[in-house]
Chains A and B, each alone.
Chain A
Amino acid sequence: DGGITQSPKYLFRKEGQNVTLSCEQNLNHDAMYWYRQDPGQGLRLIYYSQIVNDFQKGDIAEGYSVSREKKESFPLTVTSAQKNPTAFYLCASSIVGVRGVRKLFFGSGTQLSVL
Chain B
Amino acid sequence: QQQVKQSPQSLIVQKGGISIINCAYENTAFDYFPWYQQFPGKGPALLIAIRPDVSEKKEGRFTISFNKSAKQFSLHIMDSQPGDSATYFCAASWKTSGSRLTFGEGTQLTVNP
Contact = CB atoms under 8 A, between A and B. Distances in A.
A50 B44 contact: no
11 contacts: A31-B99, A45-B101, A94-B99, A95-B99, A102-B93, A102-B98, A104-B36, A104-B44, A104-B46, A107-B43, A109-B43
Interface of B: 6, 9, 32, 34, 36, 41-46, 49, 89, 93, 95, 98-106
Contacts of A87: none
A102 B42 contact: no
A40 B32 contact: no
A50 B34 CA distance: 20
B100 to A, nearest CB: 6
A104 B99 contact: yes
Contacts of A42: 6, 89, 103-106
Contacts of A50: 98
A35 B36 CA distance: 14
Interface in A91-115: 92, 94-96, 100-104, 106-109
